Chain A
Amino acid sequence: MLAVPQPSPAESRENQTFEALLWALSRPGLVRAMPGLGDADLLAALVDRECLVHAADPLLIPAVLKTGAKVAELTDADHVFAGTLGDLAVLDQLQMGSDLYPDDGATLVVHADLKTGPMLRLTGPGVDGTLDVHIGGLPDGFWQRRAQIMRYPAGFELFLLDDDQVMGIPRSTQVEVL
Chain B
Amino acid sequence: MRDQKNILQNIDWVLVALFSVMVLIGWVNIYAAVYNEEHSSIFDLSQSYGKQALWIIGACILALMILVIDGKFYAAFSYAIYVVFILLLISTFAFSRDVKGSFGWIDIGAFKLQPAEFAKFATNMALAKYLSTLDIRMQDSRTKLISTLILGLPAVIILLQNDTGSALVFASFIFVLYREGLSGNILLLALVSVALFILALLVKNSTLIGILIGLALVFILMVRKNKRNIIVIVSGAIIAIGMVYSVDYVYNDVLQAHQRTRIDVLLGKELDLKGAGYNVNQSKIAIGSGGLFGKGFLQGTQTKYDFVPEQSTDFIFCTVGEEWGFMGSLVVIGLFMALLGRIIFVAERQRSQYSRIYGYGVASIIFFHLMINIGMTIGLAPVIGIPLPFFSYGGSSLWSFTILLFIFIKLDSYRLQILR
Partners in one complex: no
